[in-house]
Structure 1
Amino acid sequence: MKVTSKLLWLAGALMVTSEASAQVVTPPTEGRAPTPAYVPPPPPPTPKPFEGAQPSEAQPTTPPPAAPVTLPSLPYKSLAEKGADGKLVALTEPIYVAALRVNPTVTDDERSKIEPYLKTRRESYEQIAIDNIDFLQEIDNGLVDKLNMADPNDAKKVQKIRALAGKGTLSAALRDAKLLSETQIRFGDKIVKERNEAEIAELKAAAGSKEGDKKAAADVVTPHLMRQAVSESLMARRGLFLELANNLTKVEGSLGLDAAAFGSLKTAVAAAKDDASKVAAVQGVFKGLNADQARAALKAVVAARGK
C-alpha cells in the first residue's frame, strides 16, 4: 500500500473547499436620495428551556482521561512466546480472550462468570463470519495487502473491514459490563500490547524493513492492523471450520454439498493430524465453494449443536 496513496486518500477525506466571493460596489447615481444608515433588527427573544431541562448543569463533554493505574508485578504466561521454528506461536482464539486466560489478576471464579458472555459474543461473531464468508475469503487471499486508499472501491472495502470489527474490543466490553476491575482490564491490555508489538516486529523483520523507515513500516503495519480489526470474525470462522471437521459424520446430510465436494472434504479432514491441519483442510475445500454453499454448510454446523 503506497504511503502517497494513503496521504492522498486522507487528504481527500479531510479537504474542505471554499469559494471566494467578491462584492462589486457601484457609485451612487446623481439625484438619488441617500440610503438611510442600516439599523440592525433587535435580537430574537431567548427561547424557553425544554421541560425538564436543568440549565445550571454543565453539558456532557469529552470524558477526562482515565486515572493512571499501577499494575501489580505478577508473573504470567506471555502470548509473545516463540515456537521451535523461532516464530510466534499462532493463537487459536481472539487475542483478548487469550489474554484473559493468562491474566494473573483474574481468578478462575471470575473467568467462569465471564464465560457465558464470551459464548454470546463468539456466537455473534460466528454470524458475522457466516454473513461475510466471501469477504473473509478475500482477506485470506491478501486483500489488505493490495488495497489502494486512493481507489474509491478500495475505500469502501476498508469501511466493510471496519464493520466486520463489530462493536469494539472485548476489553472495552468487559469494562462497560463491569465484569472486571480497571486493574484487571489494564493488565489484560498490557498482555495484548506485548503480543501486538511482537507480531509487528516479526512482520517487519520478515519484510526486511529497517528501523526508521516510515514507508516500509506503514506497508507492514497497516495491513496487520486491518487483519487485527477482523480477527474475531476470522477466529469465529476458524472455530466453525474445526467444529465441522470434528462433526463431519453428524452434519454430513445437512451440509448441502454434492458428492464430489463432500468427498474432497472427508478425504482432507481424514489426512489432518491436528486442529491446525483440520482447519486448513476445511478452508482449502471451502475455497472451491461459492458463498451460498459455504454459508449453508456453516449454518448447518451451528444448527447441529445440541442434537
Structure 2
Amino acid sequence: MATPVWSQVVTPPPAQVAPVDEHIEKMPVPPARPEAQPVEAQPVQAQPKQAQIVLPDLPFESLAQKDEAGNFKPLSEPIQLAALRVNPTIEDKAKFFEDIKPILAERSLNVQNVLVSNIDLLERVDDGVFERVDFKDAASIKQLLEVTKPFLPPAAPKSLLEELRDTGKLTPVQFAFTANKIIRDYTLTINPAPTEGLDSTQQARVSMQRAAALLKNGSIEEYIFIYNQAKAAAAENFDTVVGMMEGLDEGKKSELAKVSESVKAASTKADKIAALRPLRDVLTIDQRKEWVRHCLIMIPQ
C-alpha cells in the first residue's frame, strides 16, 4: 500500500492587514505651528526722577544761643522738638503742637522703654564713643554702629521728624527745613570748623567730630537727652531713688551711701552727674535698668 503523503495547508494572507491599535482613538494631528515672527524690542520707559525739594529762604531763630559768659546754652528739650518750635514753615504752631500731643505722649513711653533696655550702650556714649570715632578706621566705625543700631528702626521707633512726616503732620518741606537747616545750623555752630592754626591731623580730628555730631543729632540725640535728664533727676533725688530700689543687700546699700555723699558734695550740676559714675561698679546691669526707670519718673514735667 502506498504511504499517504500529508500536505500542509496554509491560509493565504489577507489583502490588507489591520494595525494592532486600530481600536484606539487617535488624537488629531495639530496644525503646523506658524513660523515665529521676530518681536520688535520695546523701548524702556525711564522712571521719572523724584522732584527735589527746594527749601524756602526763610529766616529762623538759631537754637545755638549763648549765655552771658559766652557759653552755648543747653537745650531744654530734644533737638528735633526744639527745632520744630522755631521752624518758620510751620505757620500755626499752636495748632500744630496741639495736634501732635497724642503722638508725643505715646512716643515718650516707647522711647523710654528702648532707653532702659539699652542703658549699657548709653553708658558707652557717656564714655565718648562719638567723640572718639575715626571714620577712617573700620573697627571704630563698627563700635559706633553697635551703639546706634538698637536706637534706630526697626529695633526702635522712627525719629520724631520721620514719625511726624509719615503720619502726615509734617510736609516734606517742613521736614527738610527742620533737619537740613535748623538742626544742621545748631550742630555745626556749636561744633565749629577747624581753625587755620591746627595741623592736618588736628583738622581731620575736628572734621570727624563735626560729622559725628551731625550723626548723633540726626539719630539718637533724643535718647541721650532723656538719659541726661534722668541722671540729673537722680543727682537731685539720689536717696529717694535708692529707697525705691528692691533687693539691695547691705553691701550695696553701703556703697550707694558713699556715692550719695559724693553727689551731695559736688557743687555744680555737671559735677553731681559725674559723681554718679561709680554706680556702674556698684549695681548690676539689671539694677541699673531699674535705677534709670525710677529716675525717669523723677524728671520734672
Q: Establish whether residue 294 from structure 1 lines up as the match of residue 294 from structure 2.
A: no
User: Secondary structure, in 3 states, of the residue corresponding to 1:143?
Assistant: coil
Q: Which amino acid aligns with 1:215?
A: A
Equivalent residue pairs, number: 243
Aligned to 2:186: 195
Q: Establish whether residue 108 from structure 1 lines up as the match of residue 94 from structure 2.
A: yes
User: Secondary structure, in 3 states, of the residue corresponding to 1:252?
Assistant: helix
State the alpha-carbon separation in 2 of the partners of residues 162 and 71 from structure 1: 33
Q: Which amino acid aligns with 1:221?
A: R
Q: 1:285: Cα distance to partner?
A: 4.4
How do 1:248-267 and structure 2 match up within 5 A?
248=238, 250-256=240-246, 258-267=252-261
Q: Establish whether residue 175 from structure 1 lines up as the match of residue 133 from structure 2.
A: no
CA RMSD of aligned residues (A): 3.9
Q: 1:226: Cα distance to partner?
A: 4.7
State the alpha-carbon separation in 1 of the partners of residues 82 and 232 from structure 2: 18
% identical equivalent positions: 22
Q: Who wins on radius of gyration, i.e. which is larger?
A: 2
Relative to structure 1, the CA distance from residue 275 to residue 108 in structure 2 (aligned partners, 3 Å threshold; closer, same or farther) is farther
Partners of 1:99 and 1:188 within 8 A in 2:
yes
State the alpha-carbon separation in 1 of the partners of residues 269 and 296 from structure 2: 19
Relative to structure 1, the CA distance from residue 63 to residue 127 in structure 2 (aligned partners, 3 Å threshold; closer, same or farther) is farther
Relative to structure 1, the CA distance from residue 273 to residue 146 in structure 2 (aligned partners, 3 Å threshold; closer, same or farther) is closer
Deviation per CA, 1:126-148, whole angstroms, max 9, x where unpaired? Answer: 22322222222222222334445
Q: Which amino acid aligns with 1:100?
A: L
Q: Which amino acid aligns with 1:83?
A: D
State the alpha-carbon separation in 1 of the partners of residues 235 and 105 from structure 2: 20
Picking from 78, 83, 86, the partner of 2:62 is 78
State the alpha-carbon separation in 2 of the partners of residues 281 and 274 from structure 1: 11
State the alpha-carbon separation in 1 of the partners of residues 183 and 135 from structure 2: 28
Q: Which amino acid aligns with 2:80?
A: Y
Q: Which amino acid aligns with 2:62?
A: S
Relative to structure 1, the CA distance from residue 218 to residue 295 in structure 2 (aligned partners, 3 Å threshold; closer, same or farther) is same
Picking from 198, 206, 210, the partner of 1:221 is 210
User: Secondary structure, in 3 states, of the residue corresponding to 2:222?
Assistant: helix
Partners of 2:135 and 2:141 within 8 A in 1:
yes
- The answer for unaligned runs of 5 or more in structure 2 is 1-44
TM-score (norm 1): 0.62
User: Secondary structure, in 3 states, of the residue corresponding to 2:56?
Assistant: coil
Q: 1:81: Cα distance to partner?
A: 1.6
Richer in helix (by share): 1
State the alpha-carbon separation in 1 of the partners of residues 108 and 121 from structure 2: 19
Partners of 2:188 and 2:210 within 8 A in 1:
no
Aligned to 2:109: 123
Q: Establish whether residue 141 from structure 1 lines up as the match of residue 141 from structure 2.
A: no
Q: 1:195: Cα distance to partner?
A: 0.3
Picking from 222, 226, 231, the partner of 1:241 is 231
Deviation per CA, 1:260-303, whole angstroms, max 9, x where unpaired? Answer: 34324544554567765654454x34344443331121233457
User: Secondary structure, in 3 states, of the residue corresponding to 2:183?
Assistant: helix
Picking from 202, 208, 220, the partner of 1:230 is 220
Relative to structure 1, the CA distance from residue 115 to residue 242 in structure 2 (aligned partners, 3 Å threshold; closer, same or farther) is farther
Q: Which amino acid aligns with 2:294?
A: A
How do 1:2-41 and structure 2 match up within 5 A?
none
State the alpha-carbon separation in 2 of the partners of residues 101 and 264 from structure 1: 42
Q: 1:232: Cα distance to partner?
A: 1.8
